[in-house]
Structure 1
Amino acid sequence: MIRLTDFLPVPEPSSTKLKFHMRAGNGGGEAWDLLVDDDPEWLNMSRWRAVNANNNMGDARYLLAWAQYYPYGPNYFIFGGFFRVTPVMPAVIDGLGYDLKLQNLHAEYIKRLIIKLDKPLGRQVYLRRYETVQEQLAPEVYELAPDTKLGTFPGYQNTRLRHHELQRIVANDEPSWKDALSSVKGVYVITDLSDGRLYVGSASGEANGLWQRWSGYAQLSNLTGGNRELESIRRELGDAHIVGNFQYSILEIFDPKTKAETILARESFWKQALHTRRPHGLNAN
């Protein structure tokens, strides 16, 4: 077993706290989802200064932030960064009461290092002092991923991938993703997040279903899959626009034995339902 404090030494142990986040308040979403998406709310969760002093930084000058890595279970947490803590003045209570500055120390482990606690935590936010966390929660290094963790396949209805995430999944042949996407055909939607326009496509004849179709999009040499409208965007705005703005989700899945004409009919339905044909969307026909 590798102890957390042995793996992540800090310059001022007595002035450092650890904050374990499970979810944002008021239905704001899971902490891991916010961290992996670089959502500003992730940082705000650590900046919050509560009325209850037990939930605050106190005299801490540094913070190790963690998000519950729910794909593994309730007692697994993934590293979100080492921060310098400065209280906002005048003091803000029940609001964003701290300024946080990300430090270079241990930055290479962000979204990669997963620790396991001896038992699940019972609160939405949980703080511990660095000096005592080892005896209180027994955190141990569980995994150091070679690249940013994306989690196991979340289910067809919960798939929402940015292009850089799709690239990593395909490049690493992520097993749970490859198994799930290879086992179905389907209708999918690509969203251009810069303007909200949609493109509906399908994997109706590919031997390896959605995995084969999306693997093509993941290649920088085939970002558009040959689609006329997407290719027009690539020529006008460049590859960087697609990589930075395209998001991939699944609308409907089918057994691999389903006839292609059945899937193509459903693709046409979704184009009509979502108004993805020109001029409203990115489908040419």
Structure 2
Amino acid sequence: MPILLRDIWPIENPGEYKIHFARWNQHTQPLEVFARDRREWQEWQEYRPGRDDFNRPLIFSLIQFYHEQDTWLFGGVYRVLARHPDRYEVELTDIGANMIGRLKLFYPYRDRTTRPVMERHHEGFEVQEILREPYSGRTFPGFDDIDLSFEELETLVRNERLDWRAALENIKGVYLITDIHTNRRYIGSAYGDMGIWSRWRQYVETGHGGNVQLTRLVREQGLPYCREHFRFALLEQRTARTADDVVIARESFWKRVLLTRGEQGMNRN
């Protein structure tokens, strides 16, 4: 029998609330925004479309937990202080403060409306999980299942996720970067004194990691292009004791197999 939100958290005066079902906006995942920058997350509550959707005093914010179907992460209750023609002024309240980033709800919401009234939906919210700590990035899935958007990688690096860092910091390996806008691919590697974690941190900071073709792309398109269109996958991992020439040979193998030299890829050699 499911535990309903109303069983553990009765909402007083639901008529004072609008819900904000924050979903992917064709550019950014709100879950990653929340995890990397709370100020940027508050700006999602301050955005005002043409209509006055947040026309009640309080906003009950929910974040699409896109790794799991029909799952939402509680992002706080905000009070609307002012309504300007182009934006809202809001402040985070202490209502449910200990649940922010921890409470996960199950609710199969399919409507296009992003900001509905609370009373139509509160009764159906099921408590799926309460995390031990506020969400700061996805749990390390194992070496065989690493496929990350730039935005998700940035969240992990900015928050110094210990499980990811411990796994990737001291391994050598070969990785794939895919530009999902053009479908062009780049094969890179980490060897010597630099592990995968440090190598990928460079991409988060610069977008190009010092690679010639990627540097040109960042110069032309800017870092926001990388954040929106790059994906990172780990193809092979090797222990720190592995000779560098072995890793370099495997990097060359993957360049040949995936045709990343020439027009279809972004490797120059």
TM-score normalized by structure 2? 0.59
- Correspondence list, 1:124-139, <5 A: 130=122
Unmatched segments (≥5 aa) in structure 2: 1-6, 20-28, 34-59, 78-89, 110-120
Q: Are 1:5 and 2:9 an aligned pair?
A: yes
What corresponds to 2:102 in structure 1? 114
Is the 8 Å Cα contact of residues 206 and 212 (structure 1) preserved in structure 2? no
Paired residue secondary structure (2:102)? strand
| Distance in 2 between residues matched to 1:236 and 1:80, nearest whole Å | 35
What corresponds to 2:197 in structure 1? 211
What corresponds to 1:223 in structure 2? 207
| Distance in 2 between residues matched to 1:239 and 1:77, nearest whole Å | 29
Over 3 Å counting, the alpha-carbon distance change for 1:196 and 1:69 in structure 2 is closer
- Correspondence list, 1:108-257, <5 A: 113-115=101-103, 130=122, 142-143=131-132, 145=134, 149-207=136-194, 209-219=195-205, 222-257=206-241
Over 3 Å counting, the alpha-carbon distance change for 1:187 and 1:142 in structure 2 is closer
| Distance in 1 between residues matched to 2:227 and 2:233, nearest whole Å | 15
Is the 8 Å Cα contact of residues 74 and 101 (structure 2) preserved in structure 1? yes
Unmatched segments (≥5 aa) in structure 1: 18-33, 39-62, 83-103
Give the C-alpha shift of residue 276 in structure 1.
0.5
Is the 8 Å Cα contact of residues 174 and 189 (structure 2) preserved in structure 1? yes
| Distance in 1 between residues matched to 2:226 and 2:64, nearest whole Å | 29
Q: What is the root-mean-square deviation of aligned Cα atoms in Å?
A: 4.3
Structure 1 range deviating more: 262-271 or 244-253: 244-253
Letter in 2 for 1:78: L
Q: Are 1:267 and 2:245 an aligned pair?
A: no
Is the 8 Å Cα contact of residues 205 and 260 (structure 1) preserved in structure 2? yes
| Distance in 2 between residues matched to 1:155 and 1:140, nearest whole Å | 22
What corresponds to 1:78 in structure 2? 73
Is the 8 Å Cα contact of residues 179 and 229 (structure 2) preserved in structure 1? yes
Paired residue secondary structure (1:113)? coil
| Distance in 1 between residues matched to 2:242 and 2:259, nearest whole Å | 25
**Over 6 Å off, 4+ runs:** 63-71, 137-140
Letter in 1 for 2:145: N
Is the 8 Å Cα contact of residues 217 and 225 (structure 1) preserved in structure 2? yes
Count of aligned positions? 202
What corresponds to 2:37 in structure 1? none
Give the C-alpha shift of residue 239 in structure 1.
2.0
What corresponds to 1:51 in structure 2? none
Letter in 2 for 1:114: R
Letter in 1 for 2:141: P
Over 3 Å counting, the alpha-carbon distance change for 1:195 and 1:81 in structure 2 is farther
What corresponds to 2:3 in structure 1? none
Over 3 Å counting, the alpha-carbon distance change for 1:240 and 1:69 in structure 2 is closer
Is the 8 Å Cα contact of residues 176 and 188 (structure 2) preserved in structure 1? yes
TM-score normalized by structure 1? 0.56
**CA-to-aligned-CA distance 1:201-234 (integer Å, 9 cap, x gap):** 0001134x10111111111xx3211111101111
Over 3 Å counting, the alpha-carbon distance change for 1:239 and 1:77 in structure 2 is closer
What corresponds to 2:260 in structure 1? 276
Letter in 2 for 1:165: E
Over 3 Å counting, the alpha-carbon distance change for 1:115 and 1:240 in structure 2 is closer
Paired residue secondary structure (1:166)? helix
Is the 8 Å Cα contact of residues 4 and 141 (structure 1) preserved in structure 2? no
| Distance in 1 between residues matched to 2:13 and 2:146, nearest whole Å | 37
Is the 8 Å Cα contact of residues 202 and 264 (structure 1) preserved in structure 2? yes
Letter in 1 for 2:158: A
Letter in 1 for 2:203: Y
Give the C-alpha shift of residue 150 in structure 1.
2.4
Is the 8 Å Cα contact of residues 172 and 190 (structure 2) preserved in structure 1? yes
| Distance in 2 between residues matched to 1:138 and 1:247, nearest whole Å | 32
Letter in 1 for 2:102: I
